[in-house]
Amino acid sequence: MTLADLARNQTAHISVLPNDSDLAARLLEQGFALRTEISLAHKGPWNGPLAFRLHNTKVTIQPKVAEQIEVILA
Protein backbone atom coordinates (compact mmCIF):
# COMPACT_ATOMS: atom_id res chain seq x y z
CA MET A 1 0.00 0.00 0.00
CA THR A 2 1.24 3.53 -0.74
CA LEU A 3 0.49 6.95 0.71
CA ALA A 4 -1.68 7.66 -2.32
CA ASP A 5 -3.95 4.74 -1.31
CA LEU A 6 -4.76 6.04 2.18
CA ALA A 7 -8.29 7.13 2.98
CA ARG A 8 -8.84 10.44 4.75
CA ASN A 9 -7.76 10.28 8.43
CA GLN A 10 -6.41 6.74 7.98
CA THR A 11 -3.18 6.23 9.92
CA ALA A 12 -0.13 4.31 8.70
CA HIS A 13 3.63 4.03 9.21
CA ILE A 14 6.14 4.75 6.44
CA SER A 15 7.95 1.55 5.44
CA VAL A 16 9.75 2.36 2.15
CA LEU A 17 10.94 5.64 0.63
CA PRO A 18 11.46 6.21 -3.13
CA ASN A 19 14.52 4.68 -4.83
CA ASP A 20 15.53 8.09 -6.18
CA SER A 21 18.11 9.24 -3.61
CA ASP A 22 17.55 12.97 -4.28
CA LEU A 23 13.81 12.64 -3.79
CA ALA A 24 14.28 10.47 -0.70
CA ALA A 25 16.65 13.07 0.79
CA ARG A 26 14.13 15.88 0.20
CA LEU A 27 11.38 13.81 1.81
CA LEU A 28 13.58 13.07 4.83
CA GLU A 29 14.15 16.81 5.25
CA GLN A 30 10.37 17.26 5.36
CA GLY A 31 9.98 14.57 8.04
CA PHE A 32 9.09 11.54 5.91
CA ALA A 33 11.33 9.10 7.82
CA LEU A 34 10.93 5.33 8.07
CA ARG A 35 8.48 4.15 10.77
CA THR A 36 6.99 7.65 11.08
CA GLU A 37 3.27 7.72 11.79
CA ILE A 38 1.38 9.55 9.04
CA SER A 39 -2.24 10.16 8.08
CA LEU A 40 -3.99 11.73 5.11
CA ALA A 41 -5.48 15.11 6.03
CA HIS A 42 -7.06 15.90 2.64
CA LYS A 43 -6.75 15.55 -1.10
CA GLY A 44 -6.67 18.47 -3.50
CA PRO A 45 -9.27 18.56 -6.28
CA TRP A 46 -8.52 17.27 -9.78
CA ASN A 47 -5.62 15.05 -8.70
CA GLY A 48 -4.01 17.96 -6.85
CA PRO A 49 -1.58 17.78 -3.94
CA LEU A 50 -2.16 15.48 -0.97
CA ALA A 51 -1.84 16.91 2.55
CA PHE A 52 -0.50 14.59 5.26
CA ARG A 53 -0.25 14.97 9.01
CA LEU A 54 3.11 13.99 10.47
CA HIS A 55 5.11 15.31 13.43
CA ASN A 56 2.19 17.58 14.47
CA THR A 57 2.22 19.47 11.19
CA LYS A 58 0.76 19.22 7.68
CA VAL A 59 2.94 18.60 4.66
CA THR A 60 1.75 18.49 1.04
CA ILE A 61 3.23 16.40 -1.75
CA GLN A 62 2.19 15.55 -5.28
CA PRO A 63 0.30 12.29 -5.92
CA LYS A 64 3.19 10.98 -8.10
CA VAL A 65 5.48 11.23 -5.09
CA ALA A 66 2.92 9.70 -2.70
CA GLU A 67 2.67 6.68 -5.01
CA GLN A 68 6.38 5.97 -4.42
CA ILE A 69 6.16 5.88 -0.60
CA GLU A 70 5.04 2.55 0.83
CA VAL A 71 3.22 2.33 4.15
CA ILE A 72 1.91 -0.24 6.62
CA LEU A 73 -1.45 0.44 8.25
CA ALA A 74 -1.27 1.27 11.95
pLDDT digits 0-9 by tens, 40-57:
999 999 989 999 999 999
Residue 63 has pLDDT above 90, yes or no: yes
Domain range list for the chain: 3-73
The pLDDT of residue 74 is 86
Within 8 A by CB and 6+ apart from 65, the residues are 18, 23, 27
CATH class of 3-73: mainly beta
* Dihedral, CA of residue 25, residue 29, residue 34 and residue 35, to nearest 10: -170
